[in-house]
């Protein structure tokens, strides 16, 4: 089948074809009228109006089957009544108006979705896998954690992994909007969807292709594109009221004057493109603007909720802190050396996507320690992991978790650990081997983001952390937040969100699996990062793709502006259309004059809605 005849292509081309046919018939009929052939002109106008009417009726029936009824029915009535009364020119003008509006909406949506849909064409199909001492091209679906692959210059990274080469240069623009190349050092995580700009490098696969960053972003994009804003649904409800008022006014004008063309004039000027097009255009444009700044709003409803946020609740680790902890010290137990503890722990952590894992691998690399690929790794999310490193059995994570995996009677000696330090416990061959002390500094952009939130009208900012209360209070005091709660379980974060929602509209910002329930309960849940396997990204309404907290207040501003523009467009359009309907009912507008006036109103209102793409 030729490409242009495929169903998807036909749906995409239909607005262009329909608008072209309607305009051609309107102009062609006008030429015959100028040539003093009014009957031929009327026939051509009938064809243009009839073609659009058929498409309109099909769309209306499809909407009814989906349980929706909109103001498309007014356009269908005005064209149908015009053709029935022999007012073919008026019907043709309405047809051009409606088809042109559909074409303009199609253009606006195409423009507005560009930043989101650009991601969808970058999915890798194959990967170069090391197998049996040789490279083999395999489908990306075949990749498994712990596989080692080669990524060549110019290729898109097929799955999330850990860099095994000394360094790599990546283009992350499709993921974060960052236009400049980003250098990555050995041991750091490389997200799928990035493009290799420098020399080829080896990658240790951390997650399969379906669970990787890029796959998660694609799913979020598809969900965002399929959504409809509450404002758009509200517009449908207003449309039903508007339809009833239009029919009453048109019927009353016909009954009062005895002139059916006066009723037609009312129907013509009542075709409300502001409700049909302006609201969704403004909302989609706002989603696009946010995406271009690295903030992916998953649903149009979330964009509207984002515009009304009054309270922000932030997690600590990975949200207001850098999520790039550094190894401060290593305290080995008797019988173990510091480098031995770090080398074995970092080797095992190569298989983990936890933020602390990257710190251990970086520290081991900086000390030029030799790392070994781990085997039979088992990770208990949020608690720790275990596996074989060479012939050694290694377990690391929280001290309670590690001790539960060791021989009876084993214990750690906690000395010189201050209140602001995070600890990774390490066990080797059933013995307590040592503690690795980490610090997680406040993000450089956190204070900028907090100030921007307050400038944007956010009344209250609260920290909710699973860390010890003293650690959370120290971070909160640095940023000057309004309240802080530490030692919170996932259930505790949920209860905090529930309390804050009684006082305002709450946005929760987090990045961990334990944040997912709170993100789901909040009015707007924001996940830091878009890793496909993270429950936080699945539960969130908004995903921050760019590693820049200050983009969240910017997204709130974009949401407010888009919401205001949508309301302005709808209200202004309905007021102007209502005034024109009254004039038509009183006999001051003919059907043709009404159609031309409504065309001017619709174009003005839709162009106003397109302002959401800018600024």
Report the interhelical angle of 38-65 vs 72-84 (nearest 10°).
150
d(CA 299, CA 297): 6
- Low-confidence stretches of the chain (pLDDT < 70) are 1-12, 67-71, 101, 104-124, 173-180, 209, 211-240, 271-277, 323-324, 353-355, 381-382, 414-421, 468, 512-514, 516, 529-539, 613, 615
Find the helix or strand (DSSP H, E) in which 422 lies: strand 422-428
Residue 40 has a pLDDT of 92
Residue 224 has a pLDDT of 47
Residue 483 has a pLDDT of 92
Residue 142 CB-half CA count within 13 A:
13
d(CA 537, CA 546): 14
Q: Give start and end residues of each alpha helix (H) in 188-259.
A: 213-226, 230-257
Sorted by sequence, the CB contacts under 8 Å of residue 218 that are 6+ apart come out as 119, 120, 123
315 as an active site residue: the answer is yes
Q: Looking at residue 159, what DSSP letter applies? A: S
Residue 357 has a pLDDT of 82
Q: Considering 72, 160, 171, 315, which one is annotated as catalytic?
A: 315
């Amino acid at each position: 089948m030729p490409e242009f005849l495929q169903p998807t292509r036909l749906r995409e081309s239909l607005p262009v074809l329909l608008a072209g046919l309607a305009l051609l018939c309107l102009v062609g009929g006008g030429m015959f009228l100028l040539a003093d052939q009014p009957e031929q002109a009327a026939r051509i106008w009938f064809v243009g109006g009839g073609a659009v009417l058929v498409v309109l009726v099909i769309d209306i029936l499809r909407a009814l089957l989906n349980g929706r009824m909109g103001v498309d029915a007014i356009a269908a009535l005005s064209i149908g009544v015009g053709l029935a009364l022999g007012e073919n020119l008026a019907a043709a003008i309405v047809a051009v108006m409606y088809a042109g509006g559909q074409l303009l909406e199609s253009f606006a949506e195409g423009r507005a979705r560009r930043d989101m849909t650009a991601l969808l064409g970058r999915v890798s199909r194959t990967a170069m896998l090391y197998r049996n001492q040789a490279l083999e091209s395999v489908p990306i679906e075949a990749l498994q954690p712990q596989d080692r692959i080669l990524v060549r210059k110019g290729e898109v990274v097929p799955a999330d992994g850990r860099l095994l080469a000394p360094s790599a240069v990546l283009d992350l623009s499709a993921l974060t909007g960052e236009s400049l190349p980003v250098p990555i050092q050995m041991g750091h995580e490389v997200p799928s969807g990035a493009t290799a700009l420098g020399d080829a490098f080896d990658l240790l696969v951390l997650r399969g292709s379906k669970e990787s960053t890029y796959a998660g972003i694609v799913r979020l994009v598809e969900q965002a594109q399929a959504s409809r804003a509450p404002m758009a649904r509200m517009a449908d409800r207003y449309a039903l009221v508007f339809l009833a008022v239009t029919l009453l006014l048109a019927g009353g004008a016909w009954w009062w004057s005895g002139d059916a063309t006066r009723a037609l004039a009312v129907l013509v000027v009542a075709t409300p493109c502001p409700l049909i097009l302006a609201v969704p255009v403004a909302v989609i444009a706002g989603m696009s603007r946010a995406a271009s700044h690295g903030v992916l709003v998953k649903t149009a409803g979330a964009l509207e909720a984002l515009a009304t946020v009054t309270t922000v609740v932030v997690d600590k680790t990975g949200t207001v802190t850098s999520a790039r902890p550094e190894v401060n010290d290593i305290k080995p137990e008797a019988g173990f050396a510091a480098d031995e503890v770090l080398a074995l722990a970092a080797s095992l952590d190569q298989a983990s996507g936890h933020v602390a894992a990257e710190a251990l691998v970086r520290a081991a690399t900086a000390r030029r320690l030799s790392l070994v690929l781990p085997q039979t790794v088992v990770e208990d999310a949020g608690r720790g992991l275990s596996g074989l490193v060479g012939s050694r059995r290694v377990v690391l994570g929280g001290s309670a978790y590690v001790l539960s995996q060791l021989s009876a009677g084993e214990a750690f000696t906690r000395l010189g650990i201050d209140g602001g330090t995070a600890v990774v416990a390490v066990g080797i061959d059933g013995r307590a081997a040592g503690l690795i002390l980490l610090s997680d500094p406040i993000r450089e952009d956190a204070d900028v983001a907090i100030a921007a939130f307050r400038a944007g009208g956010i009344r209250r900012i609260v920290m909710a952390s699973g860390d010890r209360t003293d650690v959370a209070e120290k971070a909160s005091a640095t940023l000057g937040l309004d309240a802080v709660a530490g030692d919170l379980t996932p259930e505790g974060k949920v209860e905090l969100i529930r309390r804050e929602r009684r006082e305002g509209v709450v946005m929760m910002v987090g990045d961990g699996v334990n944040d997912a329930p709170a993100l789901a309960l909040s009015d707007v849940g924001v996940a830091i990062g878009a890793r496909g396997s993270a429950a936080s990204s699945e539960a969130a309404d908004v995903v921050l793709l760019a590693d820049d907290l200050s983009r969240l207040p910017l997204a709130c501003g974009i949401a407010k502006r888009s919401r205001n523009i949508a309301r302005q467009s709808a209200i202004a359009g309905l007021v102007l259309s209502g005034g024109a309907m009254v004039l038509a009912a009183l006999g001051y507008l003919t059907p043709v004059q009404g159609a031309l006036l409504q065309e001017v109103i619709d174009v003005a209102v839709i162009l106003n809605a397109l302002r959401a793409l800018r600024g």
